[in-house]
Amino acid sequence: MSSPADTSSRADTSSRAGGPSRIDASLLDVHVRGSGPALLLAHGAGGGIEPNFGQVLDDLARDHTVVGPHYPGAGASPVAREPLDLDALVDAVVESAVSRGHERFVLLGESLGTVVSLRAAARYPQRVTGLVLTAGFAVADPVLSVAAELVTTLAHAGEWDTLARFATYAGLTDRELNELPGEALEAAVAATREGMPAGMADHFDLVRRIDVRADLASIRVPALVLMPTGDRLVLPDSSRRLAEALPDATLVEIPGGAHILGERDRTLWLGHVREFLTGLPG
């Protein structure tokens, strides 16, 4: 594993004493597609590469190598044996690209993946050339903190059906929920239940503990902060605060967008991302 260039951040990334436990990057399930400059994907809590980025993978892979590692307990990655540590997770995500020959890359993070991306930019400034942060935050606000606690509690209790209903509610906007007939809503809940990864509780437990606010001022790479204005899980103000704290950030709204972007909003997202990538220094 590559050594981080800078591990001096004051961010509180773990609730355990004794330092982070290493995550073996070679055991992670990694999605790789395309060729060209590397885009390293960091998915959300309870998500994955296909659930978060599936609608745009083919397009991004037309002129980039897309590298998408699954966190422990997502995709085919084995479940963690102990609580996740942010720095250990960041190191494994970065190693998934470096071990495949990509020394430098743009990071695309969604929700929890935005914190992974931010911490990676702080620990590996020589590797990260840009950041795309969707539904981003640096620390969980009270709404996200309560939601993360509820998810972990339900998951540990084995209340997966109830958890699926909550996740469906949190991932859609009021308009989307109101427009779904009863049968379609039940189908959405069933699909959510089917797609929930084994490591979901571990991911949301990490959401409750992380805080990278101390890193933000030192991150000097260009950042595109994409704010779904209808997000009820990561509230839009979190994206605003994130963009204000980063030295070189552009904030762009996804009007009415939910935490889980639908096809129309993801198409809009892709246009903004494409423009951002084109404008990055060569």
- How far does Cα 43 stand from its chain's mean position? 4
User: What mean pLDDT, rounded, does the chain reach?
Assistant: 92
Query: Residue 67's closest CA among 92, 97, 110?
Result: 97
40's enclosing H/E stretch is: strand 38-42
Lowest mean pLDDT among 102-111, 149-158, 168-177: 168-177
- Given its phi and psi angles, is residue 46 left (phi above 0), alpha (psi -120 to 50 degrees) or beta? left
Confidence of residue 3 (pLDDT cuts 50, 70, 90): very low
| Beta bridge partner(s), residue 226 | 134, 252
Instruction: Give Cα 42 distance to the centre of its chain.
Output: 5
| Placement of tokens 């102990």 in the chain | 82
Residue 4 pLDDT grade (very low, low, confident, very high; cuts 50, 70, 90): very low
Strands 65-69 and 249-254, sheet pairing: unpaired
Which pLDDT value is given to residue 20? 53
- Provide the pLDDT confidence category of residue 14 given band limits of 50, 70 and 90: very low
Q: What is the pLDDT of residues 156-167, one digit of tens each?
A: 999 999 999 999
pLDDT single digits (tens) 199-236: 999 999 999 999 999 999 999 999 999 999 999 999 99
Mean pLDDT across 88-99: 98
CB atoms within 10 A of CB 76: 11
The span from the CA of 253 to the CA of 260, in Å, is 14
| Overall average pLDDT of the 91-116 stretch | 98
Amino acid at 235: L
Task: Round to whole Å and give the CA distance between 31 and 130.
Answer: 20
Residue 30 has pLDDT above 50, yes or no: yes
At 98, the pLDDT band (50, 70, 90 cuts) reads very high
pTM score, whole prediction = 0.91
The answer on pLDDT for 13 being more than 70 is no
Any idea what the Cα angle at residue 88 is, between residues 84 and 92, rounded to 5°? 110
Are 245 and 220 within 8 A, CB to CB?
no
What angle is formed at CA 201 by the lines to CA 146 and CA 6, rounded to 5 degrees? 90
More confident residue, 11 or 174: 174
Is residue 39 within 8 A of residue 108, CB to CB? The reply is yes
Torsional sign, CA 252, 255, 260, 263: negative
CA 162 and chain centroid, separation: 23
CA-to-CA distance for 202 and 84, rounded, in angstroms?
A: 6
Q: How far apart, in whole angstroms, are the C-alpha atoms of residue 175 and residue 179?
A: 6
The span from the first CA to the last CA of the chain, in angstroms, equals 27
Helix (H) or strand (E) holding 189: helix 182-195
Judge whether residue 141 has pLDDT over 80: yes
